[in-house]
Structure 1
Amino acid sequence: MQQVVVDPGTGKVRVRSTRLSRGSGQRWLLAPEFVGICGTDLDIIAGSRADKASVLGHEAVVRVVERPSPVFHGTETGTSYLINPVNAEDQERIIGHSEAGMLQNAVEIPAARAWDGLLVPVLPDLDPLLAVLSEPLGVAIYSAELLAAQALPERLLVVGAGPMGLLTAVTAGLLGVPEVTVVDRSERRLRYAVENGFVETDRVLRRESGPNPDAAALYDGPGPDAIAVCVGREHRRVALRDALRIASPGARIGLTTGFKAGETLCEIAGVDLHQIRRLNVCGEPWPGHVHQVDVADGKCVYLTGHRGTSRRHLLDAMKILINHPELFRRFITDIVSLREVPQSLELLMRERSAPDEAPYRKFVVALGQS
Structure 2
Amino acid sequence: MTRGAVASGRPAALVRVERHRALVRTPAGLRLHSLPTPTPGPGELLLAPEVVGVCGTDLQILRGLRADPAEVLGHEGVARVVAVGPAVAGPAPRVGERVLVDPTHPRDDTFLLGHNVAGLWAERVVVPATAVRDGLVVRAPGPGPATPAGPDHDAAVVAALAEPLSSVLEGYRVATDVAAGAPSTLVVWGGGVVGRLAVRWWRHRRPDLRVLHVHRPGEPPLLPEPGTLALAADDQDLPAVLVGLTGPVTAVVATPRTASLQAVAALVGLCRAALTIDLHAGLPAGPVRWNGVEDVVDLAALRARNRAGRPVVPVARTVGRRGAAPVTFVGHRGVAPATLQRAAHVVSGDPTAWADLVTHHVTLDDAVRAIRAMVDGDRHVDGRPVLKLAMRISR
Superposition TM-score, scaled by structure 1 size = 0.87
C-alpha distance in structure 1 between counterparts of 2:299 and 2:257, whole Å: 13
Report the count of equivalent residues: 357
Q: How far off its partner does 1:320 sit?
A: 2.0
Q: How far off its partner does 1:73 sit?
A: 1.1
Counterpart residue number, 2:149: none
Counterpart residue number, 1:204: 230
Q: Out of 287-296 and 175-184, give the one that drifted further.
A: 287-296
Counterpart residue number, 2:367: 341
Counterpart residue number, 2:17: none
1:322 matched to 2:341 = no
Counterpart residue number, 1:213: 238
C-alpha distance in structure 1 between counterparts of 2:246 and 2:43, whole Å: 58
Q: 1:146 aligns with which of 174, 181, 188?
A: 174
Counterpart residue number, 1:168: 198
The AA in structure 1 aligned to 2:200 is V
Distance 1:345 1:189, change over 3 A: farther
- Which of structure 1's runs of 4+ aligned residues deviate more than 4 A? 22-26, 112-115, 186-189, 218-221, 265-269, 295-299
Distance 1:246 1:266, change over 3 A: closer
Counterpart residue number, 2:319: 293
Superposition TM-score, scaled by structure 2 size = 0.82
The AA in structure 2 aligned to 1:348 is M
Counterpart residue number, 1:39: 56
Q: Out of 360-369 and 250-259, give the one that drifted further.
A: 360-369
**Identity, % of aligned positions:** 27
Q: 2:271 aligns with which of 247, 271, 279?
A: 247
8 Å CA contact 2:215, 2:221 repeated in 1:
yes
8 Å CA contact 1:184, 1:205 repeated in 2:
yes
The AA in structure 2 aligned to 1:3 is A
C-alpha distance in structure 2 between counterparts of 1:55 and 1:204, whole Å: 36
Q: 1:226 aligns with which of 226, 250, 254?
A: 250
- 1:90-109 superposed matches below 5 A: 90-91=108-109, 93-109=111-127
Counterpart residue number, 2:106: 88
- Give SS of 2:371's match: helix
- Give SS of 1:308's match: coil
Distance 1:237 1:223, change over 3 A: same
1:4 matched to 2:30 = no
Which digits, 9 at most, give the CA deviation of each residue in 1:58-94, with x for residues without a partner? 0011100011333351411111111111011225521
Q: How far off its partner does 1:347 sit?
A: 1.5
Which digits, 9 at most, give the CA deviation of each residue in 1:82-107, with x for residues without a partner? 11110112255210111111100101
Counterpart residue number, 1:128: 155
Structure of greater Rg:
2
1:260 matched to 2:284 = yes
C-alpha distance in structure 2 between counterparts of 1:190 and 1:37, whole Å: 20
8 Å CA contact 1:186, 1:359 repeated in 2:
no
* Contiguous gaps of at least 5 residues in structure 2: 1-19, 145-153
Q: Out of 217-226 and 157-166, give the one that drifted further.
A: 217-226
The AA in structure 2 aligned to 1:170 is R
C-alpha distance in structure 1 between counterparts of 2:165 and 2:73, whole Å: 19
- Give SS of 2:167's match: helix
- Give SS of 1:208's match: coil
Which digits, 9 at most, give the CA deviation of each residue in 1:264-321, with x for residues without a partner? 3444663222101111011111221111134577652111110111123123312321
> Where is the helix percentage greater, Structure 1 or Structure 2?
1
Q: How far off its partner does 1:223 sit?
A: 5.7
Q: How far off its partner does 1:7 sit?
A: 2.8
The AA in structure 2 aligned to 1:54 is E
C-alpha distance in structure 2 between counterparts of 1:39 and 1:250, whole Å: 30
Q: How far off its partner does 1:352 sit?
A: 6.1
8 Å CA contact 1:203, 1:218 repeated in 2:
no
Distance 1:304 1:110, change over 3 A: closer
Distance 1:72 1:89, change over 3 A: farther
Aligned alpha-carbon RMSD (Å): 2.8
